[in-house]
Structure 1
């Protein structure tokens, strides 16, 4: 007889460099290995690794929440449930899913989490009050980092709003585990501590004299290969152009030709008026540009 275990709802948080991404991979590997021993088919997908954006998913070698669970980006109420054909296709992939990992949870709003909840209930055929269809959910991230795009404050997960039906899916449900040891900058403890102070600093709070001096020391010219941080896009563009010109001997101006698709024939035709700012510089690299025959 199979043992019934209560689903886990865990929120793993911590500042930058505390090893959240590394921990995700360890959890996925170990959980997959253990759960494979309990499945009839060892190749069944039991642990699903996801993130709210393509970049975040790529960084952890996972899938976006939308593609993994068949969720439309519009988050329209009409799309809360899928048709039988689509859900059956999704169910064949996720019917044995036991753990869902969501990275960068700070970019997930209450509405998206509700869609995750509804989709898992539909996949698991659990239309009752069972949260997330009985699947364990491990959320990972830092609410001091990027918030959801175009989301009101009350719709952010950490804001307690009892009037919102999705409120129960986060507030008071998830247990918190905080990573507090910085691993990425562990060889420079003073700088790591400074970064943590900046992480929790309020707008009306002043920096300490020591922090100001430390940051000021980072200003000025540094090695070209070092990461440079600027406050405006114009400064970034200027620096990039300077670095490109150091690697290039000459520049070439290529005027772009703008085409549009003819609705009748389906062929591409040259536009009479070019699109604004359609010209670009292509720089000649000595190592890649083909030399003329002498």
Structure 2
């Protein structure tokens, strides 16, 4: 409560922990799970005792990695860090190697005059979350990460698939056509 108003504040979950408190998230490893089990955590013991070795083997058999032959490519992937997003995007684009791919360099202009971007850092944290280069391919899955036009459904989180890339005479992309998952968007 703040001034008789309920406030729900959501922010960067990777921010510094509260003074004197543990971080909100921590990486869990098998050693942590073993120590939980050994410490007598009732919930963990109850879960572990209800699972047979066969159950655990079945669940373990469902674990997949990007190198698995049945790794899903046409599903939304969620990542913790921007670096993981970039690595995942590169991995998926490499799987589309047979599709025509385009590398688009960032361009900017003021008053119709181009601005030299050669000294712009390649860190999205310093460029308003914009890339200096963008690699795209037909059939690649895409997701908006900013609100473009709320009234038209072009909002953060809207996803779709690139269906065509329009190029100019120099074979440089000038438009990217996206078929959004929701037919009413766009």
Work out which structure has the larger RCO, using CA pairs closer than 8 Å and 6 or more positions apart in sequence: 1
With structure 1 as the length reference, what TM-score do the two structures score?
0.24
With structure 2 as the length reference, what TM-score do the two structures score?
0.34
**Which structure has the greater CA radius of gyration?**
1
Higher helix share: 1
